[in-house]
């Protein structure tokens, strides 16, 4: 089968499109013919290599996918050949204490399709049968492929971790990335007032068009904290949703209200940052990390998406052969929404 893979870690030149053996269906696996996949920053981290993560090379990249079931293992149930599905890329053991508590993304051996096993940038992919969900009827395969990782991550951050309630204010840094835009859409769905930031006026105007209440170009102003405080009438925001990391971390402690919450799911600008410990305790802040979602997060997110007929924000649809250009676009932060890869 055709697949986009790496033979070694490194830059975008390490990604090649070529032949890769068809996946073998394990007892509890299903194999789907991938129609569409979608890029995530995770693909870049995996391509570059992560400490402690050993991959069998060549390795097929890609975590998000949607397609049609082609094979089912003997120990699967409820899924039939021909079903149209999306892949939840979170891999959990199902039997550790976290899994038994229903917190699959806290699993002791948590892994991700495209990291812990061959990914979705391929004509076929095998995944545990528990990891496929029916494709929402109102979404095309391209749209459905854009959904799983970013939207479950945003759902868990806002709803499960930060406990967002209608009427609260949410600040989302760096609007344009998949998780940030998913956060904007889901926060609006939940009745929040949303402030977004970017260095691009074009991205801000597009964010406004899909529901952002306030937009701030942080490069065009001297005082981001003061601007956010002005928007919130001096209070600060209830929740900061951060997928940026080092570049935004210290700002978070100046813009969140007393008793507010800061939730972080990614570090696209770096791993190390300074924390204002005085603001943390004096303002009684709650700082939370969040990784992807539990099965229940995925279920709730899909229900909300289906009920609202919500469509993920998509930057572009590219072919598998264009994978290097698409990865470069994401790495440069040029995208607005999910970059989808049409596979078959």
Quick one: 96 or 247, whose CB is closer to Zn ion?
96
- Name the residue with tokens 């990614």: 266
Nearest to 176 by CA among 55, 330, 42: 330
Quick one: 93 or 225, whose CB is closer to Zn ion?
93
Interacting stretch for Zn ion, rule CB under 5 A, among 86-94, 184-192, 198-206, 222-230?
86-94
**Considering the complex, what minimum distance in angstroms separates the CB of residue 105 from Zn ion?**
10
Q: Does 292 bind Zn ion (CB under 5 A)?
A: no
Query: Which helix (H) or strand (E) covers residue 199, if one does?
Result: none
Interacting stretch for Zn ion, rule CB under 5 A, among 75-83, 96-104, 166-174, 231-239?
96-104
Among 1, 68, 93, 246, binds Zn ion (CB under 5 A): 93
**Considering the complex, what minimum distance in angstroms separates the CB of residue 115 from Zn ion?**
16
Q: Does 294 bind Zn ion (CB under 5 A)?
A: no
Binding residues for Zn ion, total number by CB under 5 A? 5
Quick one: 92 or 153, whose CB is closer to Zn ion?
92
Interacting stretch for Zn ion, rule CB under 5 A, among 73-81, 88-96, 162-170, 226-234?
88-96
**Considering the complex, what minimum distance in angstroms separates the CB of residue 128 from Zn ion?**
12
Give dist(CA 35, CA 84) in Å, integer.
10
Beta bridge partners of 132: 87
Q: Does 247 bind Zn ion (CB under 5 A)?
A: no
**Considering the complex, what minimum distance in angstroms separates the CB of residue 296 from Zn ion?**
14
**Considering the complex, what minimum distance in angstroms separates the CB of residue 96 from Zn ion?**
3
Q: What is the DSSP letter of 94?
A: S
Q: Does 112 bind Zn ion (CB under 5 A)?
A: no
**Considering the complex, what minimum distance in angstroms separates the CB of residue 53 from Zn ion?**
18
Q: Does 30 bind Zn ion (CB under 5 A)?
A: no
Beta-carbon contacts of residue 235 (< 8 Å; ≥ 6 apart) = 229, 257
Q: What is the pairing mode between strands 132-134 and 214-217?
A: unpaired
Give dist(CA 344, CA 335) in Å, integer.
23
First-residue to last-residue Cα distance in the chain: 11
Q: Does 131 bind Zn ion (CB under 5 A)?
A: no
2 with 19: CB under 8 angstroms?
Answer: yes
Q: Does 107 bind Zn ion (CB under 5 A)?
A: yes
Q: Does 99 bind Zn ion (CB under 5 A)?
A: yes
Q: Does 92 bind Zn ion (CB under 5 A)?
A: yes
259 with 235: CB under 8 angstroms?
Answer: no
| β strands within 118-208, DSSP E | 124-128, 132-134, 169-172, 193-198
Give dist(CA 175, CA 235) in Å, integer.
22
112 with 90: CB under 8 angstroms?
Answer: yes
Residues forming the site for Zn ion (CB under 5 A): 92-93, 96, 99, 107
């Amino acid at each position: 089968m055709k697949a986009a893979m790496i033979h070694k870690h490194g830059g975008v030149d390490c990604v090649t499109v070529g032949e890769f053996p068809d996946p073998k269906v394990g007892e509890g696996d299903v194999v789907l013919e991938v129609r569409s996949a979608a890029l995530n920053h995770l693909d870049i981290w995996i391509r570059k290599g992560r400490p402690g993560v050993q991959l069998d090379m060549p390795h097929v990249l890609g975590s998000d996918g949607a397609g049609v079931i082609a094979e089912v293992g003997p120990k699967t149930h409820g899924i039939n050949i021909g079903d149209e599905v999306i892949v939840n890329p979170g891999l959990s053991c199902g039997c550790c204490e976290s899994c038994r508590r229903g917190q699959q993304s806290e699993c002791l051996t948590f892994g991700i399709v495209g990291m812990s096993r061959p990914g979705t940038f391929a004509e076929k992919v095998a995944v545990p049968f528990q990891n496929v969900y029916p494709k929402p009827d109102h979404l095309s395969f391209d749209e459905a492929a854009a959904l799983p990782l970013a939207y479950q991550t945003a759902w868990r951050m806002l709803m499960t971790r930060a406990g967002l309630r209608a009427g609260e204010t949410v600040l989302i840094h760096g609007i344009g990335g998949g998780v940030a835009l998913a956060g904007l859409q889901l926060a609006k769905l939940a009745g929040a007032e949303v402030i977004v930031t970017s260095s691009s006026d074009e991205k801000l105007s597009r964010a406004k068009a899909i529901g952002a209440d306030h937009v701030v170009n942080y490069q065009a102003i001297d005082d981001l904290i003061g601007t956010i405080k002005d928007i919130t009438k001096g209070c600060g925001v209830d929740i900061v949703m951060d997928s940026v990391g080092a570049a935004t971390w210290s700002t978070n402690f100046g813009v969140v209200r007393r008793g507010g919450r800061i939730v972080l799911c990614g570090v696209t600008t770096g791993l190390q940052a300074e924390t204002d410990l005085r603001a943390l305790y004096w303002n009684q802040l709650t700082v939370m990390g969040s990784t992807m979602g539990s099965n229940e997060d995925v279920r709730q997110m899909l229900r909300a998406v289906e009920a609202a007929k919500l469509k993920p924000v998509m930057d572009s649809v590219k072919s598998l052969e264009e994978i290097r250009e698409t990865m470069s676009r994401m790495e440069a932060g040029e995208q607005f929404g999910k970059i989808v890869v049409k596979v078959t």
